[in-house]
Amino acid sequence: MKKTPHPATAACPCGSEKTYEDCCGPWHAGFKAGVHAPTPEALMRSRYSAYVLGLIEYLLSTWHASTSPGELELSPVKWLGLEVRFAHMAGDAGVVEFVARCRDSSGAQRLHETSRFVRDGGRWFYIDGQMTVAE
């Protein structure tokens, strides 16, 4: 389910208060050419934006090979917002805690996750995440 490209001068879907072209756009446009998010938080934000925009190839390319599902199908979800609560990196490891709001056929949802990232070969990858049950 690929959506139309996000307008470069519009607000970035990740909620950073930057334009798409100054935030997640370069990572989405340049990943095949070796342009990658420089921090775990930037990668997490770009992955959220990729979910919003239906960029499956980007999502799979930023998933570490040790945990990647290999294929990904996005369900019909309307993403409503992202709040990054905590981001930390030390050496080649990173953690980002966030809450993503969305709506699907069953109603409104809040996904609270603490995601793990690893730097491998000079670039950051998503490893996995631990969901937090109702706050």
- Residue pointed to by tokens 């992202």: 82
Q: For 109-129, how does the pLDDT look when each residue is reduced to its tens digit (9 = 90+)?
A: 999 999 999 999 999 999 999
CA distances from 69 to 60, 62, 123 (A): 8, 12, 19
- Specify the pLDDT at position 63: 97
Contact 42, 98 (CB under 8 A): no
Distance CA 112, CA 130 (A): 8
DSSP 59: H
Report the SS3 class of residue 57: helix
Task: State the architecture of 20-132 in CATH terms.
Answer: Roll (3.10)
- Band (pLDDT 50/70/90 cuts) for residue 135 is low
Report the SS3 class of residue 11: strand
Q: For 10-23, how does the pLDDT look when each residue is reduced to its tens digit (9 = 90+)?
A: 999 999 999 999 99
